[in-house]
Amino acid sequence: MDLALVGIGKIARDQHVPSLDASPDWKLAATISRHGSVDGVEQFTSFEQFLDARQDIRVVSLCLPPVPRFDYAVQAIATGRHVMLEKPPGASVAECQKLLAMARAQGVALYATWHSREAAMVDAARDWLAGQKLRKLTVTWQEDVRRWHPGQDWIWEPGGLGVFDPGINALSIVTKLLPDALHLSAAELITPENRQCPIAAKLRFAHPHGADIRADFDWRKEGDQIWRIEAETDSGRMTLDAGGAQLSINGVPQQSDSAALSGEYPRLYARFAELVASGSCDVDLAPLRHVADAFMIGRREITAPFHE
């Protein structure tokens, strides 16, 4: 199937384009970007021009930042295109609900992707936890914003999410791992005095069976980066590390026995092909609701200015 990729930035070049090139389901037939292009692929700088000129391309993948993404998605769905959304799926929960209602009315596929859920050992961790009585779950997601998001000022503006841009990856894993629904009970948002969004956050969740669930997100981590989820149960301890790529149970490393596609984004695009074929939607907003709740109930703490 022909697909158009909108927004040719780092994530598109590093993940989307290689995954599309290797996919048996997709052909990258057009790109839309004011600043980037892909060799050998037809380029448009205007989305409206693309929609008019390439009415034969019925599938669009949106890699734009969350704030402008909504208007592009509305246009695509209104013209009968199937749409794939990078994470987070939008700048607000209401926007995403609107897109889902539009997609269902139009009979097109809408896919809100959570790439970290497709990390190699997430499913194995979920399967092990399914039979356990959970006592405690701790998320530690600490990285260096200067390394991973250099020069991306939009990420500090309203709708850019700040430290929740990586933190929502952890929340997407947690909401897949646990069979019981959580809700946020407390949050602390640590925000530089010269920025709109937090550089660190501490979260606590209410669990229906009383488990102690906490998350610590921090963008000021130098040296070794940490993307870890640790669970304590009646049967022992589980550690999901490296963003979901590594799993140990009671200190014993586990190996994946899955024959599934290798890599997070190839799996996303395989799933998207299924949704397009059936005209179905897959829009789980649980991770985004947790972030929205953090901004609603979180206590603010102002910290030193952040400069690149």
CA dist., res. 163 & res. 290, Å (int):
13
What is the residue type of 296?
Answer: M
Strands 200-206, 212-218: pairing is antiparallel
How much of the chain is helix, strand and coil, in % rounded to 5?
A: 35, 30, 35
CA dist., res. 77 & res. 81, Å (int):
5
Neighbour count for residue 119 (Cβ, 10 Å): 23
Transcribe 151-176 into DSSP letters: T-GGGGSTTS-TTHHHHHHHHHHHHH
Neighbour count for residue 134 (Cβ, 10 Å): 21
Closest CA to 74 of 43, 96, 45: 96
Report the Cα 272 to chain-centroid distance in Å: 15
Strands 2-6, 27-32: pairing is parallel
Q: Which residue among the candidates 27, 87, 98, 133 is catalytic per the annotation? A: 87
Annotation says 87 is catalytic: yes
CA dist., res. 75 & res. 204, Å (int):
38
Residues marked as catalytic: 87
